[in-house]
Amino acid sequence: MKQTGPIVVTFIAGAVVLIEFFLKIDALKFWADTFGKWQLVFVAFASALGAANLIRIHANRATQKRSDWPYSYLLLGALGAWTILGVLKGPQNTNYDFLYQNLLQPLSATLFSVNSFYIASAAYRSFRVRTAEAAMLLVSAVIVMLSNVGIGTAIWKGFPELGGWFMRVPNAAGMRGIIIGAALGAIAISLRVILGLERSQYGGTE
């Protein structure tokens, strides 16, 4: 039952939700809505389980003073204080909002600014003109960047319009192709899970 039970439940729930979504069968609407509500409950339990696992891992690291153990104390303290404040006062509380606006957002901005150096390094390696495709990537990237900065307009007033065309036409076409491919992959893996062909999440093999 550790594998067969979850496979049967997954198949029934997935089939009901898919059939009701595409065919709009009134008899299945109640169960589809019920499964949707159950999903929220499962997500809440999964989040609680993830938080408990995070606490366990960092508590062990802090008590055993393993690598970077002071940061584990910092994480546990922030997690506890944030959770207590959110539960007792609510997310609309001024103190909770103050911490979010003046602590979490600046830290997130700092993290993304650090990532910009890695992005710049990756762009430098990618823009080396070794093939015709790399030359096209370099030219289009330079045009788009110049269209978004003041110096580009000072050089040539047509850069904003040309850069906008690159974003609206070639870039949009490529992104739609990627999205379609990702959607087909998501559909394929979802069908494998519903049909019981994908069993790695149950602790088995494919």
What percentage of residues in the chain have a pLDDT greater than 90? 37
- Compute the distance between CA of residue 11 and CA of residue 33 in angstroms, rounded to an integer: 16
Is the Cα dihedral 147, 151, 154, 155 positive or negative? negative
The two three-digit tokens of residue 60, written as one number? 């062990």
The two three-digit tokens of residue 8, written as one number? 């049967």
- Compute the distance between CA of residue 10 and CA of residue 199 in angstroms, rounded to an integer: 11
Region 135-150: mean pLDDT is: 86
Residue tagged 């198949």 (tokens): 11
Exposed/middle/buried for 31, CB within 10 Å: 0-12, 13-18, 19+? middle
Question: pLDDT tens for residues 30-88?
Answer: 999 999 999 999 999 999 999 999 999 999 999 998 888 999 999 999 888 888 888 88
* Average pLDDT in the chain: 86
* Nearest of 70, 62, 60, 16 to residue 38 by alpha carbon: 16
- Compute the distance between CA of residue 59 and CA of residue 49 in angstroms, rounded to an integer: 15
Q: Return the domain boundaries, the chain.
A: 1-89, 127-206
What percentage of residues in the chain have a pLDDT greater than 70? 95
Res 204: pLDDT: 52
Residue with more model confidence, 33 or 104: 33
Res 202: pLDDT: 63
- Compute the distance between CA of residue 137 and CA of residue 126 in angstroms, rounded to an integer: 9
Res 193: pLDDT: 83
DSSP state of 9: H
Res 31: pLDDT: 93
* Nearest of 90, 86, 95 to residue 51 by alpha carbon: 86
